[in-house]
Amino acid sequence: MRSATPKVLHTLAGRSMLGHVLIAAAAVRPAYTVVVVGHGAEQVADHVTTLNPQALAVVQEQRKGSGHAAAQGLTAFDERDGFVVVVNGDAPLLTAGTVQALVDDHLESGAALTVLTAEVSNPTGLGRIIRGASGSVTAIVEHADADADQRQIREVNAGVYAVDTGLLAAGLQRLSTDNSKGEQYLTDVLGLLVADGHDVRASAAADPDDTLGCNDQVELAARRRTLNDRILGAWMRLGVTVIDPGTTWVDVDVQLAPGVTVLPGTQLLGATNVSDGAVVGPDSTLIDTEVGADARVVRTHAQLAVVGPEVSVGPFAYLRPGTRLDPGSKVGTFVETKNAHLGAGAKVPHLSYVGDATIGEGTNIGAATVFVNYDGVAKHHTTIGRHARTGADNMFVAPVTVGDGAYTAAGSVITDDVPSGAMGVARARQRNIRGWVRRRRAGTPAAEAAQRALEAQRALETPSTPESQSSEDTVG
């Protein structure tokens, strides 16, 4: 992968490769789940514990091949009855249904080993499945060793096996490293079982994509696309409208209700939950965010936010963690919120920052308002009451409270509480210095425009009016 991140920890649809594999394998309810870790062992083992606290991580100190890895895995438990399922950790498209079908086929046939196979259009580089007259598997022939006839075979080894535990343990002890890589190959166990007269069968995957591995960033991108197509297809079949699947990305843990519409350029990530009738997008990213019924979220980035029913958000809004928008409220264009609670019907329509604030129901926040919440050491809270009206270009210097039904004047810097029903005014009176531009900016376009306005004004005024004779009393 050419990455500091261990391969199996790269993510697809909000889940690691290893996470996808473990969830697929969990479908058969194993008595033990063992993960053999090598590169980045400590990091991978910690991740395994996070995914499944009951899983056992075994470190393969020396990388001696797939057979050696399987042998290391068997050291995690003593039982040799029953069977084990061996899967690769880098097969993120493997599904629970495919693993269950493999196990069902294995139990039904009574075979010593059942190998998962896939029919592919281009088998180049893959091990071919050689079957006998009865349909049993007699060998797996690697591409380099296959003859012309064998290379025509399109059924290939997917690298997933259900195998008798005792026979696997015995076979692994017999493996040789007499090969070009000097490694123990798990596939050689199949040959040993066949040579000993045991029945080996194949279980064909219904979807060949389930068996695809992932060895570089190009393949990872392709697997992401395939998985995303599966996710979107499943939601659309349940009644979700996705306008452009090619530009829409949805993580595996996202929940969408029938009737949701997802517009182009949208990413729904983490544990995001969108209720019926809501419209999200275009060009929106929601992370671990809840969206209520009939809400509208347009060109918005939101994380750990709760958007209630019939709420309007955006365009170009930024909802940061701790944002809670009650039913019918609005966060409009170029508004950022954090640790903010808007009551029902409250509105912050334009160009504002709302941090560490509670805004009561029905309240309207004027354009270009800033909730000044940080003093350089700690953050403080602002409370705006119900049905209040705050003027444009206000600053609320926390901690401060504006009461129910109160108003604040435009341009105010509110540093003290405003009682309910009062008008808070915190600004200096305007003073006009007449003639300033003519005196201090002579020759500029502003001075020329002022002069033209002065002349036009003089032309309209009565000549006998004394004030019309004094340029010091005119605009400019």
Helices (H), 362-403: none
E strand spans, 343-387: 347-359, 364-365, 370-372, 382-384
Helices (H), 274-346: none
Residue 32 CB: number of other CB atoms within 10 A?
A: 12
Report d(CA 408, CA 404) in Å as an integer: 12
| pLDDT at residue 465, rounded to an integer | 53
| pLDDT at residue 140, rounded to an integer | 92
Residue 250 CB: number of other CB atoms within 10 A?
A: 26
Residue at 473: amino acid letter: D
| Residue 155 backbone dihedrals phi, psi, to 5 degrees | -85, 120
| pLDDT at residue 85, rounded to an integer | 98
Report d(CA 45, CA 39) in Å as an integer: 11
Residue 382 CB: number of other CB atoms within 10 A?
A: 22
Q: What pTM was estimated for this model as a whole?
A: 0.91
Report d(CA 22, CA 57) in Å as an integer: 12
Q: What is the DSSP letter of 343?
A: P
Strands 56-59 and 15-16: unpaired
Report d(CA 365, CA 393) in Å as an integer: 10
Report d(CA 410, CA 368) in Å as an integer: 10
Q: Mean pLDDT in runs of 10 for the chain (476 residues)?
A: 95 98 96 94 96 95 92 94 96 98 97 97 92 93 89 95 97 90 91 96 97 95 98 99 99 99 99 99 99 99 99 99 99 99 99 99 99 97 99 98 98 98 96 95 96 92 57 46
Report d(CA 271, CA 144) in Å as an integer: 45
| pLDDT at residue 178, rounded to an integer | 87
Cα–chain center distance at 386: 36
Sign of the four-CA dihedral 160, 163, 166, 172: negative
Instruction: Kindly state the tokens that stand for 286.
Output: 């929601």
Report d(CA 435, CA 437) in Å as an integer: 6
- Give every CB contact of residue 90 below 8 A, 6+ residues apart in sequence: 7, 8, 17, 21, 213, 214, 215
Q: How far apart are the first and last CA of the chain?
A: 68
- Give every CB contact of residue 89 below 8 A, 6+ residues apart in sequence: 7, 8, 17, 18, 21, 35
What residue has token string 């219904």?
Answer: 206
For the CA atoms of 19, 25, 26, 29, the dihedral, rounded to the nearest 10 degrees, stands at -160
Instruction: Kindly state the tokens that stand for 381.
Output: 């809270």
Q: What is the DSSP letter of 271?
A: T
Is 350 a known active-site residue?
yes
Report d(CA 157, CA 198) in Å as an integer: 19
Report d(CA 356, CA 337) in Å as an integer: 8
CB 299 within 8 A of CB 285: no
Query: What CATH class has 7-211?
Result: alpha beta
101 three-state secondary structure: helix
Nearest to 160 by CA among 98, 215, 86, 227: 86
CB 40 within 8 A of CB 48: no
- Name the residue ranges covered by the structural domains of the chain: 7-211, 240-424, 436-473
Instruction: Kindly state the tokens that stand for 225.
Output: 């696309």
| pLDDT at residue 68, rounded to an integer | 95
The structural architecture, per CATH, of the domain 240-424 is 3 Solenoid (2.160)
Q: Find the catalytic residue in 143, 350, 380, 387.
A: 350
